[in-house]
Structure 1
Amino acid sequence: MRDAELIAALAKLVEARPSRGFWKCCDQLRKKRPDWNPKRIYRVYKAMRLNLRRAAKRRLPKRERVALYVPKLPDTVWSVDFMSDALACGRRFRTFNMVDDFNREALHIEVDTSINSSRLVRVFEQLKRDHGLPKVVRSDNGPEFLGEVFTQWAKANGVALQYIQPGKPNQNAFIERFNRTFREEVLDQHLFVCLEDVREAAHWWMIDYNEERPHDALNGMTPAEYRNTFAGSSTFEVSA
């Protein structure tokens, strides 16, 4: 095939640099193969349908402002968010944090270098088995929360997804306050060598946060004590 080499070169270039248009591709190819004239390159470029407009980034749907409120029962609204930090070696990691808005209980802190929509589903499935699920999950508009895997899982499990308005973290104030405390008391206090160190520190800190640390917003009670005032609606169990 006469144009096989040109097709292969174009395909490789476009795959590596999808945002480059025809003339950038043409100039780059002709540096190595000046015998390929622009008309020939453009003919092949069109035949490969590379001249078609690529899909633009999907715009976020308009988010309505929803007033922040304290639920009257546990497991009504859970707020979730991500944080990031680095190990001593400089390797970045993320944490996925989750709290119950009712009593500010820390429900879960997932730690890893990468956490996508599928990973979120596994986290929620674990909580579903051990704890139950909320009626609503409140989050920002991060791609993990917008991914089809996660949104379809939420729909199948009867969990409503409530997205805050872009650039309005105050609309998710409970998890933002939790993140600040977690950073001050854990992430900023230790130089972690590996992910297991982060996970262990987060585990023991969550127990202290839920069972020992009094909260001004809970009239000086711990999240566990506050939840147990509604024991009939609670699935919370203190640690052994």
Structure 2
Amino acid sequence: MNHKLVYRLYVDESLQMRRKRPRRNRSCLIRVTREVAVARNDTWSMDFIADQLFSGQRFRLLTLVDNFSRMSPAIEVGHQVTGDHVVAILERATKEHGMPKQI
């Protein structure tokens, strides 16, 4: 059986078939399941959000979220958020809210 016959059978049965193999196929195999947070400061998540003003000026937001309580220890807005800024933000948030076990 070759790929042309398989494709023709899928088309006849109105099935969908991926034409390309996903690039992240290997990384999906070695992913570790995350533990569910059961108390405050078990795990925090952080993410960057980028947007643009009407004038065309871009800005970024760094958001920290406690996964258990859904509280945000820090939201920082700036035009350039560098690695030094991220470290300072994390240090300030850990002083105010305590150290998380995982980020």
* TM above 0.5: yes
Q: Distance in 2 between matches of 1:127 and 1:107?
A: 6
Q: How many residues align?
A: 76
Match of residue 56 from structure 2: 90
Give 1:122's aligned amino acid.
A
TM-score, normalised on structure 2? 0.66
Which of these two proteins has the greater Rg computed from alpha carbons?
A: 1
Alignment of 1:34-183 (within 5 A): 64-137=30-103
Q: Which runs of 5+ in 1 are unaligned?
A: 1-61, 138-240
Q: Deviations over 1:29-60 (max 9, x none)?
A: xxxxxxxxxxxxxxxxxxxxxxxxxxxxxxxx
* Root mean square deviation, CA, Å: 1.7
Equivalent position SS for 1:136: coil
More strand by percentage: 2
TM-score, normalised on structure 1? 0.30
Q: Deviations over 1:9-37 (max 9, x none)?
A: xxxxxxxxxxxxxxxxxxxxxxxxxxxxx
Q: Distance in 2 between matches of 1:129 and 1:107?
A: 10
Residue identity (%): 34
Q: Distance in 2 between matches of 1:99 and 1:75?
A: 10
Shift in Å, 1:70: 2.5
Q: Distance in 2 between matches of 1:129 and 1:106?
A: 14
